[in-house]
Amino acid sequence: MIVCMLTWEYPPRIVGGISRHCFGLARALSKRGCEVHVVTLGFPDAPSSERVENVNVHRVLPEVGTTGFLSWVLLFNNSMSSYVTKLRKQIGFDVVHSHDWLTIPSGLAVSAILERPLVITFHSTESGRSLGSFTAESFTIEGIESSGIEGASRLVVASRSMMEEVCGRFKTPQEKVRVIPNAFDLQAPRPSVDVTKIREQLGISPSDRVVLCVGRLTPQKGVEFLIQAAPEILKQHPDARFVIVGDGWARASLQGTAKSLGVDNRTVFTGFVPEDVLSSLFSMCAALVVPSVYEPFGIVALEGMAGGSPLIVSQTGGLAEVVEHEKTGLWVYPRNPKSIAWGVDRILSNPELSKQLVENARAALTTRFTWDAVAVNTIGVYEEARKAG
């Protein structure tokens, strides 16, 4: 089967979980005998076309520049559509696979031009990302989502909660939606790093126990509730050091909250960090907290599992499906600093529990969250889409 995969981010462009998801899926599909062509955005110093691990990667640029976000999205979709239209002279695609709303316009166009079925993976929805606070831009994005749902032969989501969200919000028939969880490649080489050096770079002393949080600094990630929990955690564990990895428009506000609570001297905002540094942080942290208030899946939880991080996650969305309470991690209530403080205290106070959770989580990765299983199920969806027309 020949697959045209459309995604706005793909390595080396890594902004969120979509890039990692598409990279893992494309490689796994290739190993299963699919010919995969990923059409994505250009990136500085990355070749316009290359073959990486048997995946054909094509990078395009918008035809003209623009300062408006939605205009930029529509322009790069037009560039993608034009590029695939030229590719069809050489390649007979069987299915088109778009990822999230950002490539729905090109997905719909390419599907119509090629007369091939469209599959769309929804990694989140605008309603969820905006937490219900809609702007004119949000209404436009939801309109694009709606058009994709209408035009696609099949939809893929990563969790049951996401399926309920898509079906409820857009009145989508459940028989059109398939749940395929994300995965993590345990066989991929992990970078070797000097933990002592990284501690020095980030100003973390050898005696500090790292409480890690990784994600975009936006309200949906709930980082403010971890910061609000910090004073209570420090009462019980004065050696705790809060390391916040990621960036976003809420960063200044979060730093202000840490200062107003008097915990700024125990909190490090790193911004984005290289993959080797992030991998090291996962392996050396005493606890990984994922305090999201909206999370369709939470791929950072899988990354933490692979890195050996004891997990504390909000009991919400896909996180509650990925992490089994008291077995592979702990659930805490969303938007609840006291509950987060309870979870962190439980992990930091119980080394044996922490060790057991890490061992169970790693075992889960080898059985529940493999890319081969994702590829097999995705190929099944492609076949369904082709039959559905």
- Per-residue pLDDT of 105-154, as tens digits, reads 999 999 999 999 999 999 989 988 887 777 889 999 999 999 999 999 99
Closest CA to 289 of 327, 356, 241, 248: 241
What is the CATH code of the structural domain delimited by 2-183+370-388?
3.40.50.2000
Among 65-69, 93-97, 215-219, 317-321, whose mean pLDDT is lowest? Answer: 65-69
Q: Residue 250 pLDDT more than 90?
A: yes
Res 5: pLDDT:
98
pLDDT tens per residue across span 5-55:
999 999 999 887 899 899 999 999 999 999 999 999 999 999 999 999 999
Confidence of residue 328 (pLDDT cuts 50, 70, 90): very high
Q: At 117, list the tokens.
A: 């079925």
**Coil, strand, or helix at residue 345?**
helix
Q: Residue 182 pLDDT more than 80?
A: yes
Domains 2-183+370-388 and 195-367 share a fold: yes
Closest CA to 9 of 39, 34, 44, 49: 39
Confidence of residue 156 (pLDDT cuts 50, 70, 90): very high
What is the CATH code of the structural domain delimited by 195-367?
3.40.50.2000
Q: Are 291 and 223 in contact (CB under 8 A)?
A: yes
Residue type (1 letter), 94: D
Exposed/middle/buried for 235, CB within 10 Å: 0-12, 13-18, 19+? exposed
Res 189: pLDDT:
66
Mean local confidence (pLDDT), 321-339: 96
* Average pLDDT across the chain, whole number: 93
- Enumerate the domain spans of the chain: 2-183+370-388, 195-367
